[in-house]
Amino acid sequence: MAVFLALLGFALLLGVRLYYWQVQRHDWLAQQAHNEHFRDETIPARRGAIYDVNGSVLATNEAVDSVYAARKQIDDPAKAAQVLSPLIDMPADDIEKRIRSEDNPNLQFVRLKAWVTPDVSQRIRASGLGGIFLEPTTRRTYPQNGLAAHLLGYVNDDSEGQYGLEEFYNEALSGTAGHLRAETDVAGRPINFSTPPESSPAKNGADLVTSIDAALQYIAERELTAAVKQHKASGGTIIIMDPHTGAIMALANVPSFDPNNYAASDPSGFLDAAISKQYEPGSTFKIITMSIGLAENAVTPTTAINDPGYLSLAGIRITNWDGKGHSPESATQVLQYSSNVGAATIGWKVGADKYYPHIKDYGFGSRTGVDLAGELPGQVLFPGETNWTPSNLVTNSFGQGIAVTPLQLTTAVAAVANGGLLVKPHVVREIRGQDGTQDIGTTEVRRVLEPQVAATLTKMLVDSAKIGEAQFAVVPGFNVAAKTGTAQVASPTGGYADGKFIASLMGFAPADDPKFVMLVKIDEPQDVPFGSEVAAPVWREIAKQLFVHFKIEPTDPVALAKSAVTPTPVPAANAPSASSRAPVETKPTVKATAPKPTPARSSR
Domain count across the chain: 1
List all residues 6 or more positions away from 91 whose beta carbon is below 8 Å from its beta carbon.
85
Burial of residue 255 (number of CB atoms within 10 Å: 0-12, 13-18, 19+): middle
Q: What are phi and psi of 168, to 5 degrees?
A: -65, -40
Query: Does 3 reside within a domain?
Result: no
Pair 350, 428: CB distance under 8 Å = no
Strands 207-210 and 50-51: parallel
Strand partners, 547: none
Strands 57-70 and 132-141: antiparallel
Instruction: Starting at the earlier edge strand, list the strands of the sheet with 198-200.
Output: 38-43, 178-183, 198-200
Alpha-carbon distance of 566 to 569, in angstroms, equals 8
Alpha-carbon distance of 278 to 268, in angstroms, equals 15
List all residues 6 or more positions away from 3 whose beta carbon is below 8 Å from its beta carbon.
none
Q: What are phi and psi of 310, to 5 degrees?
A: -150, 165
Alpha-carbon distance of 127 to 115, in angstroms, equals 18
List all residues 6 or more positions away from 186 whose beta carbon is below 8 Å from its beta carbon.
none
Neighbours of 60 (CB within 10 A): 17
Query: Does 115 reside within a domain?
Result: no
Query: Does 400 reside within a domain?
Result: yes
How many whole angstroms from its chain centre is CA 177? Answer: 28
Pair 260, 145: CB distance under 8 Å = yes
DSSP-based three-state secondary structure for 451: helix
Pair 443, 426: CB distance under 8 Å = yes
pTM score of the predicted model: 0.82
pLDDT tens column, 150-204: 999 999 988 899 999 999 999 999 988 877 666 666 555 555 555 555 667 878 9
Alpha helices in 367-405 (DSSP H): 390-396
DSSP-based three-state secondary structure for 387: coil
- For the CA atoms of 220, 226, 230, 235, the dihedral, rounded to the nearest 10 degrees, stands at 60
Query: Does 66 reside within a domain?
Result: no
pLDDT at 592: 39
pLDDT at 182: 64
Q: What are phi and psi of 60, to 5 degrees?
A: -150, -165
Element (H, E) at 179: strand 178-183
Query: Does 338 reside within a domain?
Result: yes
Alpha-carbon distance of 342 to 71, in angstroms, equals 75
Alpha-carbon distance of 163 to 407, in angstroms, equals 16
Neighbours of 336 (CB within 10 A): 27
Pairs from 382-391 (Cβ < 8 Å, separation ≥ 24): 382/356, 383/352, 383/353, 383/356, 387/593, 389/314, 389/315, 389/593, 390/314, 390/315, 390/352, 391/313, 391/314, 391/315, 391/316, 391/592, 391/593
Bin 222: left if φ > 0, else alpha if -120 < ψ < 50, else beta.
alpha
Residue at 353: amino acid letter: D
Query: Does 70 reside within a domain?
Result: no
Q: Which residues of 23-45 are buried (b: 16+ CB within 10 A; e: fewer)?
A: eeeeeeeeeeeeeebbeeeeebb
pLDDT at 541: 96
DSSP-based three-state secondary structure for 212: coil
pLDDT lower than 70: segments of the chain:
34-42, 102-108, 180-199, 558-604
Query: Does 39 reside within a domain?
Result: no
Alpha-carbon distance of 417 to 598, in angstroms, equals 31
Task: List the CATH number of the domain containing 547.
Answer: 3.40.710.10
Expressed as residue numbers, the domain containing 380 is 214-425+439-602
Element (H, E) at 26: helix 26-37
Query: Does 179 reside within a domain?
Result: no
Alpha-carbon distance of 173 to 205, in angstroms, equals 4
Alpha-carbon distance of 583 to 578, in angstroms, equals 10
Pair 242, 249: CB distance under 8 Å = yes
